[in-house]
Amino acid sequence: MVGFAAFRRFVSHAVECSGEPALGVLAGANFQPYHSPVGIGALTSDTLGQGLEFLARYARLIFAGMEFELDNGPRWSIFKVKSTRPLCEAHFFLIQSIVGTHGHMLEAILGRYVDELVVGLPYPRPTAEADSSLRHVRSVVFDQPCLTFQLPVKLLEVPSVCTDPTTSLDAARTCQRMQSEQMRGEFVQRVRHALLDRLMDNPDVSELAADLDVSVRKFMRRLVEAGANYSDIKDEVRRSHSAWYLKHTELSIESIASQLGYTDPTSFGRKFKGWYGMTPSKMRQASRIGLN
C-alpha cells in the first residue's frame, strides 16, 4: 500500500504536470459509483436521505483519513466532511475529489443535475488563475470550517432512481465487513505507535494494553482478529528502527540497543544478524561507504 506521504507527493506532481487546477474535481466526477460497495449501497437506497446516511456511515472506506457526518435540520441537510490528518499539498486535490465524487453520486441517485446543492469549501477563494476549478460547482461558499454539501431537507424524501433493497442490503453487509477489517488494521497501528513511545522500556503485553486502556484479553483478541501478534509487531518496529539508527545517527551500537529496549547489546547483535544477515557494525560501515 502506498504511504500517505508518497500519495501527497504524487498528487502535487500530477497537478503540476497536468496544468489543471481542477484535477481533483475531474477525478472525483469520473468516479463510477457501481465500482464500489459504498457507491452501490448509496445508489440503491430507497431515498436520497437514506443514500446520504449510507455515505456518512461508510464513505471513510473510500476516503481514509476523513470523517463524514450528516446533519439534518428543519430546513437544510448538511453533509460534513472533516480531515483527521494534515493533508498538506494534497489538501486541494482531496477536497476537490470529494466534491466531484459527491456531486456525481447525487446526480446518479436523483437522475438529474442537483441545482439545489451548495458546496462549502474550507479555504479562501482561489486566485484568478485557479478560479477555473469553480466551473464544476454551481453554488459555492468559501472559508467554511470544513467541506460541506447543503441541500433542502425536503429533498431527502425524493426516491432514488436506482432503488433496489436487496442490492442495498448486500452492499451494507460488504461495507460492514470492510469496516471491521479496517478497524482491526487501525488497532495494529495504535499498538505500533504506543510501542514506539516506550520502546526503550521494552513493555510487555500487560503494560501496553494498559497504555491503550484495554484489558490484556481484549488486546490479544484484537491482534488475533487482525492476523497479528505482539511479538511480531515488536520485532518489526525494532528491525526498521535499528537500521535507521545505524544509517542516520552517530549513536553507538550499545546506545541503539538500549533505545530499542535491549538490556544486552549482544542479544541485539544476534537478533540484528538474523534480520539482515550481517552485524550492526557491518551495516553501518556499508552505509558510510555508500555515502562516500
Report CA 234 to chain centroid distance, whole Å: 23
Provide the sign of the torsion angle of the four alpha carbons 57, 59, 65, 69, taken in this order.
negative
The proportion of the chain whose per-residue pLDDT surpasses 70, expressed as a percent, equals 82
Domain membership of residue 188 as a residue range: 178-228
Average pLDDT, the chain: 84
- pLDDT, residue 24, reads 47
Per-position DSSP letters for 138-158, written without gaps between them: SSEE-S-SSEEEEEEGGGGGS
- pLDDT, residue 151, reads 97
Taking only the tens place, the pLDDT of each residue in 107-137 is 999 999 999 999 999 988 876 545 555 555 6
CATH number, domain containing residue 80 = 3.90.1520
Residue 32 CB neighbours (<10 A):
9
In a domain, 169, yes or no: no
**Number of domains into which the chain is organized:** 3
Taking only the tens place, the pLDDT of each residue in 30-62 is 555 456 889 999 999 999 999 999 999 999 888
Are 27 and 86 found together in one domain? yes
Q: Give mean pLDDT, residues 22-36.
A: 53
The answer to whether the CB of 250 falls within 8 A of the CB of 243 is: no
CATH number, domain containing residue 272 = 1.10.10.60
User: What's the CA dihedral at 35, 42, 147, 193 to 10 degrees?
Assistant: -70
The answer to whether the CB of 79 falls within 8 A of the CB of 68 is: yes
How confident is residue 1, by pLDDT bands cut at 50, 70 and 90?
very low
Lowest model confidence (mean pLDDT) among 40-54, 116-130, 254-268, 272-286: 116-130
- pLDDT, residue 8, reads 47
More confidently predicted of 93 and 164: 164
Does the pLDDT at position 27 exceed 80? no
